[in-house]
């Protein structure tokens, strides 16, 4: 965790827990910011012994500070620093590790959000697929109903045909009976003719009796024909009823077919929706992959720019690639360094001084000066940002080599006891000055011209005990006041 304005001091030594001495003015204590329930990022600074340590800590009480995990320290390791005697400052500070964690957490959250979207769309696609399957099942059921109704129509058609055959049979029987009646009538007529022609009474009587018998038979046959005609009429009515039933079933079949068409349309719509959701799920999966790739790229770019803590100047970035202009790293014992495209230079002058002076007392014939000087300070500098003297006299740059940041090598051996002083400059800002073009504009042919406006438009007070001069004539606008204090003079020439 991080919190604002957390700063305390401690006098603890060694590599164990630290006893906090309380918050500095305008700052809050660690206990006030974090209590004893959470961990936090810390930075220990020992300006007296040039020691520092960064990592993750936790409080076991209001004043007992525990170092849980060490990320880096002035010894270049991740072990708890064996602190020397003296006052130390402890602050809550953000490090490269917390920044990288934030990047990783943000990328993980983006990937999880995209993954949730993929799962949601997959669930929607599954539901739509189930709906499509249900619609297909309805289509299959409708098809079965259509087949059943078609069978009913065919069966009823067969019944109609069978009843029609019965009607035709009855009609055929009625026609045969009618023919028989006509035949018997012809027989009666013939018998009468015979009776008249032959004049034989007995024969006529016999023939009349035969004719009566035949007439009775014809009447019987006519009754049979009438009965058959009634049966045929009944069968025709049955056939008509069956035809009506067949028509109703045909209508039901048509309605079922219409329902099937609607179900097929719904199924097609569900299938289209499922396809759309599947496409959305695929797009979400692609977006999740892109988010993960973007997070990885962002972290890689950050890792290429900030290289972390190093004990010497790196020649490539953390991936083994060429250094990029603007890259940063923390040089142990010196501070932040920035790459200008050619060399590593100090990133700022945030220390307590803008230059360091190292003094070495030469041994006989000594040429190389490095490491701790006579005052125990270890030589460190940026190339081209040093000044070297020998016995109090400046040494030309051509008479020594200073390129690696840790050693200066003289061309000639030194005389024993001679003081070699090396001044290393940190980054600083040059005071406001005139450029060459501005100076050239004011200096012409050895004469210096000073130009001033001819009208005073705002109030002005000359500095006490200072004199001022202007080239006249000068016009002072109405309402404007020029104040000349005692001991000061304003001259207009």
Q: Is 73 exposed, middle or buried (0-12, 13-18, 19+ CB in 10 A)?
A: buried
Structure tokens that stand for 206 in this block: 């016999």
d(CA 457, CA 479): 9
Residues 263-302: tens digit of each pLDDT:
567 656 766 776 787 788 678 778 878 877 887 888 888 8
Per-residue model confidence (pLDDT) at position 218 = 45
SS3 call for 245: helix
Structure tokens that stand for 363 in this block: 């041994």
The pLDDT of residue 244 is above 70: no
DSSP designation for 404: S
d(CA 48, CA 87): 8
Rg (CA), the chain: 60
> Is the link from the previous residue into 78 a cis peptide, with omega within 30 of 0?
no
Per-residue model confidence (pLDDT) at position 200 = 45
Per-residue model confidence (pLDDT) at position 143 = 66
Percent of the chain past pLDDT 90, that is, above it, reads 42
Per-residue model confidence (pLDDT) at position 473 = 93
- Block residue for tokens 């719904």: 266
Per-residue model confidence (pLDDT) at position 349 = 44
Q: What b/e readout covers 323-332, taking b as 16+ CB neighbours within 10 angstroms?
A: beeebebbbb
Indicate the angle between helix axes 96-198 and 201-305, nearest 10 degrees.
170
Q: Which of 5-14, 102-111, 271-280 has the lowest mean pLDDT?
A: 102-111
Confidence of residue 404 (pLDDT cuts 50, 70, 90): very high
Host H or E run for residue 73: strand 64-73
Confidence of residue 241 (pLDDT cuts 50, 70, 90): confident
Q: What angle do CA 363, 364, 367 make, to 5 degrees?
A: 75
d(CA 323, CA 305): 9
DSSP code per residue over 367-392: -EEESB-TTSPBP---TT-EEEEETT
d(CA 419, CA 373): 11
Spell out the residues 6+ positions from residue 475 whose beta carbon is closer than 8 angstroms to its own.
454, 455, 456
User: Beta strand 335-339 with 344-346: parallel, antiparallel or unpaired?
Assistant: antiparallel
Per-residue model confidence (pLDDT) at position 102 = 43
Per-residue model confidence (pLDDT) at position 341 = 84
Confidence of residue 322 (pLDDT cuts 50, 70, 90): very high
Q: Find residue 329's DSSP bridge partners.
A: 337
The pLDDT of residue 124 is above 80: no
Between 125 and 33, whose confidence is greater?
33
Percent of the chain past pLDDT 70, that is, above it, reads 63
The pLDDT of residue 364 is above 60: yes
d(CA 57, CA 39): 6
8 Å CB contact between 426 and 438: no
Strand segments (E) across 150-190: none
Q: Which of 172-186, 338-352, 451-465 has the lowest mean pLDDT?
A: 172-186
Residues 463-482: tens digit of each pLDDT:
999 999 999 899 999 999 99
Nearest to 423 by CA among 346, 360, 331, 345: 360
d(CA 255, CA 72): 82
Q: Which of 55-59, 352-356, 427-431, 475-479 has the lowest mean pLDDT?
A: 427-431
Give the C-alpha distances (Å, rounded to integers) separating 253 from 151, 240, 420. Answer: 10, 20, 114
Residues 59-88: tens digit of each pLDDT:
999 999 999 999 999 999 999 999 999 999
Confidence of residue 101 (pLDDT cuts 50, 70, 90): very low
Q: Which of 167-171, 330-334, 369-373, 462-466 has the lowest mean pLDDT?
A: 167-171
DSSP designation for 38: -
Domain boundaries, the chain: 7-94, 103-301, 328-425, 436-492
Per-residue model confidence (pLDDT) at position 161 = 66
d(CA 159, CA 163): 6
SS3 call for 196: helix
Nearest to 15 by CA among 67, 91, 90: 67
Per-residue model confidence (pLDDT) at position 175 = 64
Q: Which of 226-230, 269-273, 301-305, 421-425 has the lowest mean pLDDT?
A: 226-230
Q: How many CA atoms lie within 13 A of 166 on its CB side?
A: 16
Q: What b/e readout covers 227-243, taking b as 16+ CB neighbours within 10 angstroms?
A: ebbeebeebeebbeebb
Per-residue model confidence (pLDDT) at position 481 = 95
Structure tokens that stand for 32 in this block: 């006030």
d(CA 222, CA 220): 5
Per-residue model confidence (pLDDT) at position 208 = 43
Confidence of residue 201 (pLDDT cuts 50, 70, 90): very low
d(CA 440, CA 180): 153
User: Beta strand 489-492 with 467-470: parallel, antiparallel or unpaired?
Assistant: parallel
Per-residue model confidence (pLDDT) at position 421 = 97
8 Å CB contact between 329 and 308: yes
Q: Which of 159-168, 293-302, 455-464 has the lowest mean pLDDT?
A: 159-168
Between 68 and 171, whose confidence is greater?
68
Q: Which span out of 133-147, 167-181, 276-290 was modeled with the highest average pLDDT?
A: 276-290
Instruction: Tell the CATH topology of 103-301.
Output: Helix Hairpins (1.10.287)
Structure pTM? Answer: 0.26
8 Å CB contact between 291 and 114: yes
Per-residue model confidence (pLDDT) at position 261 = 65
Average pLDDT, the chain: 78
Per-residue model confidence (pLDDT) at position 180 = 61
Could you count the other beta carbons within 10 Å of the beta carbon of residue 157? 14
The pLDDT of residue 407 is above 70: yes
The pLDDT of residue 211 is above 50: no
Nearest to 331 by CA among 443, 444, 424: 424
Per-residue model confidence (pLDDT) at position 445 = 45
Q: Which span out of 179-188, 206-215, 279-288, 453-462 was modeled with the highest average pLDDT?
A: 453-462
């Amino acid at each position: 965790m991080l919190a604002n304005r957390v700063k305390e001091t401690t006098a603890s030594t060694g590599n164990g827990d630290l006893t906090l001495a309380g918050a500095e003015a305008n700052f809050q204590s660690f206990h006030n910011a974090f209590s004893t329930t959470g961990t936090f990022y810390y930075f220990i600074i020992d300006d007296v012994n040039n020691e520092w340590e960064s990592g993750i800590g936790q409080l076991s009480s209001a004043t007992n500070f525990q170092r849980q995990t060490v990320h880096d320290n002035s010894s270049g390791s991740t072990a708890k620093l064996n602190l020397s005697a003296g006052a130390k400052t402890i602050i809550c500070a953000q490090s490269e590790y917390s920044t990288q964690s934030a990047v990783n957490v943000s990328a993980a959250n983006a990937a999880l959000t995209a993954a949730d979207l993929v799962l949601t769309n997959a669930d929607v696609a599954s539901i739509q697929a189930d709906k499509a399957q249900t619609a297909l099942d309805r289509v299959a059921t409708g098809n079965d109903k259509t087949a059943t109704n078609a069978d009913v129509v065919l069966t009823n058609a067969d019944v109609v045909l069978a009843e029609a055959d019965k009607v035709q049979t009855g009609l055929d029987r009625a026609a045969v009976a009618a023919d028989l009646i006509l035949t018997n009538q012809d027989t009666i007529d013939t018998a009468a003719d015979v009776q008249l022609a032959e004049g034989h009474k007995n024969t006529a009587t016999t023939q009349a009796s035969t004719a009566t018998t035949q007439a009775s038979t014809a009447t019987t046959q006519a009754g049979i024909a009438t009965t058959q005609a009634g049966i045929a009429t009944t069968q025709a009515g049955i056939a008509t009823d069956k035809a009506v039933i067949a028509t109703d079933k045909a209508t039901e079949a048509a309605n079922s077919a219409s329902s099937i068409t609607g179900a097929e349309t719904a199924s097609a719509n569900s299938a289209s929706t499922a396809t759309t959701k599947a496409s959305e799920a695929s797009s979400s999966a692609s977006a999740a992959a892109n988010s993960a790739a973007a997070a990885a790229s962002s972290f890689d770019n950050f890792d290429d720019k900030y290289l972390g803590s190093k004990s010497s100047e790196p020649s490539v970035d953390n991936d083994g690639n060429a250094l990029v202009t603007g890259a940063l790293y923390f040089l142990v014992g010196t501070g932040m360094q920035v790459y200008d495209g050619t060399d590593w230079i100090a990133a700022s002058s945030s220390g307590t001084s803008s230059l360091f002076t190292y003094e070495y007392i030469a041994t006989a014939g000594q040429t190389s000066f490095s490491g701790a000087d006579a005052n125990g300070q270890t030589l460190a500098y940026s190339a081209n940002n040093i000044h070297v003297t020998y016995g109090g006299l400046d040494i030309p740059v051509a008479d020594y080599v200073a390129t690696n940041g840790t050693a200066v090598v003289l061309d000639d051996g030194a005389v024993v006891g001679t003081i070699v002083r090396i001044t290393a400059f940190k980054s600083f800002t040059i005071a406001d000055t005139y450029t060459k073009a501005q100076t050239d504009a004011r200096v012409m042919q050895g004469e210096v011209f000073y130009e001033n406006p001819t009208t005073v438009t705002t109030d002005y007070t000359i500095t006490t005990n200072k004199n001022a001069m202007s080239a006249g004539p000068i016009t002072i606008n109405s309402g404007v006041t020029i104040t000349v204090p005692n001991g000061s003079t304003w001259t207009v020439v």
